[in-house]
Structure 1
């Protein structure tokens, strides 16, 4: 049975990734801050035959990451880790606060780093496995009024590319997924995206990531219409 860990699995892309992976031969471990949304995802995934566990945790806290990693690996190492959890704050750089800066990097950069460090020993012991870092096209190019978000994603991109080189001669695969903005509640509290209808759905993006990550180490999924800031 394949064991898969997905962070930010309660909503949006994380939820759809869980549903895409769910089948009779999969043990899903869903990680996020909201137990309620994780349980809702779990209920849907179980309909496809998957064995599902939920873990309410804050990935920006090292002790919590270590705790869930030990819990998940108690009966064996993980096969796939999907670092999906992320936050976005948009607007003019000079209007941002120190708290926003720190929150962005803690979630988008440090969280995936903490998780990778927690699970890599198991991957190496097993001499196989995959880490998929969900980076966004913000990790490929600068974008207006997205300076902090882009900076946090560039950091994750650099980390990902470095791990690809460091573990190139092992059974551990490191995959970078760069996708444009999606039509999710992520944008509900901002006018940064004027027309969400032009964006791909999380389901579309999840289907591509699950399919292509089996063979590729870099996946680029642009929005349907690349104009604007998606």
Structure 2
């Protein structure tokens, strides 16, 4: 059975670019909240030899994650989970609403922790697995108008670094990925990035990630 990669937030941006990259060699299952985006993503990837499927699931919803990921593992030989789902609201702290803060914490933190926890018993049973957490350089240093966004990414950095130690010797390899901003729809609703022409494309970043996916604990695209 061909191996399968699960990608959260796989309907657009880096998630879709990663799906294109990994589907050249593996089956891919996309996870996301918006079915129309997932359906379109599957259509764009249908020309590849490997199977691309999707499951509607909110990565920040504990019960949904447990149910959906368990179902995937029953049918697929999963070897890699890519926690790519993320969101950001880029404003001064005093301009953020309660909803803005909760959205970032839920999506970026819970949306990484819940899937990681859900796949662990399956990876442990099969004796091998990888969990790749897409963090960004916001997990390396603070930035203006990104206080809460950076806080969530620092949290995921600490979570991933802890898993590297916790899972040592289990055959399960956590990886933290740090890259700068990309020219994706992520920035469509904000003027936080003034000149998007200087940003890497998600396709470029996806290939760089794929080429360095060798069980290392950290991948640096930008610092």
Give the gaps of 5 or more residues in structure 2.
Answer: none
The alignment of Structure 1 onto Structure 2 pairs a total of residues equal to 222
Task: Show the 5 A alignment for 1:115-194.
Answer: 115-194=115-194
Distance (Å, rounded) in 2 between the aligned partners of 1:76 and 1:6? 14
Give the gaps of 5 or more residues in structure 1.
Answer: 224-230
Q: In angstroms, what is the RMSD of aligned CA positions? A: 1.2
Report the CA distance between 1:44 and its aligned residue: 2.4
Report the CA distance between 1:185 and its aligned residue: 1.0
Residue 88 of structure 1 aligns with which residue?
88
Distance (Å, rounded) in 2 between the aligned partners of 1:129 and 1:31? 18
Q: TM-score, normalising length from structure 1?
A: 0.93
Distance (Å, rounded) in 2 between the aligned partners of 1:20 and 1:76? 19
Residue 38 of structure 1 aligns with which residue?
38
Q: Which stretch shows the higher mean deviation, 53-62 or 144-153?
A: 53-62
Report the CA distance between 1:76 and its aligned residue: 4.8
Distance (Å, rounded) in 2 between the aligned partners of 1:99 and 1:27? 36
2:173 touches 2:216 (CA, 8 Å); kept in 1? no
SS at match of 1:112: helix
Distance (Å, rounded) in 2 between the aligned partners of 1:76 and 1:207? 24
SS at match of 1:78: strand
1:173-215 Cα deviation digits (max 9, x unpaired) = 1110011000011111111000000000000000011110225
2:21 touches 2:206 (CA, 8 Å); kept in 1? yes
1:78 touches 1:119 (CA, 8 Å); kept in 2? no
SS at match of 2:68: helix
Distance (Å, rounded) in 1 between the aligned partners of 2:201 and 2:94? 32
Runs of 4+ in 1 over 6 A off after TM superposition: none
SS at match of 2:119: helix
Residue 20 of structure 1 aligns with which residue?
21
1:82-126 Cα deviation digits (max 9, x unpaired) = 000000100111111222111111000011100011101111111
Distance (Å, rounded) in 1 between the aligned partners of 2:111 and 2:183? 24
Distance (Å, rounded) in 2 between the aligned partners of 1:21 and 1:76? 15
1:40-91 Cα deviation digits (max 9, x unpaired) = 2212222111112211111111111011111101135520000000001001
Distance (Å, rounded) in 1 between the aligned partners of 2:137 and 2:171? 27
Report the CA distance between 1:39 and its aligned residue: 1.5
Q: TM-score, normalising length from structure 2?
A: 0.96
Task: Show the 5 A alignment for 1:39-54.
Answer: 39-54=39-54
